[in-house]
Structure 1
Amino acid sequence: MAPPAPGDHEARRKDVSEAVWRVLAAKGFGGLTLRAVAAEMGASTGMLTHYFPSKRALVTHALDLLEQDTAGRPRRTPPADGLPTVRAMLLDILPLTPADTARNRIWVSSWDLSLADETLTAQQGDRYARLRDTFRPHLETARGLGEIPSNADTGQLASAAVAFVHGLVVQALFDPGRFPEDVQIAMLDDFVARLAGPGTDTAPGSSRDT
């Protein structure tokens, strides 16, 4: 049998990626298998082995899709540079909408698989490093504007910001009744105010854009 034309191959790969995403959205990483993706497509698992010769290949592709979806999600426009931008970036991560809640649930469902595989663990570590790096320049701007102490370690603050927001994500996912939208935002504003430290005037509530 002749191999598919390049255009057909790319179209088929797009169909496969869309099926992987639908399985993720419905079942998370715990339900992500070649059999589940094949059933979603109405295809054979044999066909899928051309794209994913192993479970790791399937999971890696799914993580890439999730990262692309996360990068392409709608984002708030920060009202000002410095801490207001940090605040907006943190708000964009929290599960404040159904779409953001679904995305965070998928991310959390990926942790078990990633922790069980050294390669996937390293890849997730790189993702977290990139996330921390996105905060650091805005914290440096905040330091230059006098919004945080002049001796603040922006690398450490970036790590603290990521640790705080993902800890809050997990609590909100497992106990949404205790952590509704207004509570999440209030906790975030308190965190941003604490970043400023004593003797600074940031008033995070004045730039609120929920």
Structure 2
Amino acid sequence: MRKVDHDSRREDVAAAAASLIANKGLEALTTRALAKELGCSIGVLSHYFHSKEEIVIAAFRWADQRIDLRMQEAIADDSPNIESFFPVIKAGLPLDAESDLEWRVRLNLHTFALTHDTSLQAEREKNQQFRDLMTGMIAGLQNKGHVTKEVSAEDITSIAFDLVNGMAKNLVMCPFDEREQKAEYLYKLIEMLRPLPKP
């Protein structure tokens, strides 16, 4: 079997596992249920993953990568300014069905990561990489005079990171038609990052 086919099939398994976790909870993810979802045998699953833990980790990474990719695309602005923050914040929130599923997977698996050292370490490293990327963006905005220097780029990154993660956890419990409005105060906070006019 070609590697591209093997990788593609693993991706399919991870996506199906993520859907099960998001809709029914981590306890619903059994190899039997997953095989039924994919229309294959348990033996076929074992060809791609050696254990349920591997499948869980793959589902976790599937959801994380999709959220991170959207946020990185939002950061990749050729001429960033204060308005560049808005798409970055929105990209990290569960404001539609797709991002809602991804966040439900993330939230189901946070507890899992806390009790599995390899997953926890991978999550820490990934978070640090994203923080470094965002800190660099903010420092660049400060150097161009778009963002206040009263707060360090590192602190602004930490505040934004923690606010988005906390807000995302709250939003998944709200109806979709309320989420955008509930997130508006984050956008107001971004406005406060503008440097004060010189006297």
Q: Distance in 1 between matches of 2:197 and 2:175?
A: 33
Q: Tell me the residue number matched to 2:95.
A: 96
Aligned length: 193
Q: How does 1:14-25 map to 2 (within 5 A)?
A: 14-25=8-19
Aligned counterpart for 2:191 among listed residues 187, 190, 193: 193
CA distance in 1, matches of 2:138, 2:99: 24
CA radius of gyration, larger in: 1
- 1:38-77 matches, within 5 Å, as 38-73=35-70
Question: How much has 1:108 moved relative to structure 2?
Answer: 1.4
Partners in 2 of 1:79 and 1:156 — Cα distance? 24
Identity %: 19
Residue 73 of structure 1 deviates from its aligned partner by 4.5
- What is residue 137 of structure 1 aligned with on the other side? 136
Q: Deviations over 1:58-108 (max 9, x none)?
A: 222222322333345596686951322222211111122222222222221
> Equivalent residue for 1:37?
34
Query: Which structure is higher in helix share?
Result: 2
TM-score (norm 2): 0.80
TM-score, scaled to structure 1: 0.77
Cα 1:119–1:16 shift into 2, 3 Å: closer
Runs of 4 or more above 6 Å deviation: none
Q: Is the contact made by 2:135 and 2:153 (CA closer than 8 Å) also made in structure 1?
A: yes
Q: Cα RMSD over matched residues?
A: 2.9
List runs of 5+ in structure 2 lacking aligned partners.
none
Q: Compared with structure 1, are the counterparts of its residues 67 and 153 closer, same or farther at alpha carbon in structure 2 (3 Å cutoff)?
A: same
Q: CA deviation at 1:152?
A: 3.0
Q: SS of the residue aligned with 1:49?
A: helix
Q: How much has 1:179 moved relative to structure 2?
A: 4.7
Match of 1:148 in 2: 147
Q: Structure 1: which 5+ runs fail to align?
A: 1-5, 202-210
Query: Counterparts of 1:101 and 1:42 in 2: how far apart (Å)?
Result: 25
How far off its partner does 1:44 sit?
Answer: 2.7
In structure 2, do the counterparts of structure 1 residues 200 and 193 end up closer, same or farther at CA, with 3 Å as the change threshold? Answer: farther
Superposed displacement of residue 177, structure 1 = 7.4
Cα offset, 1:118, TM superposition: 1.3
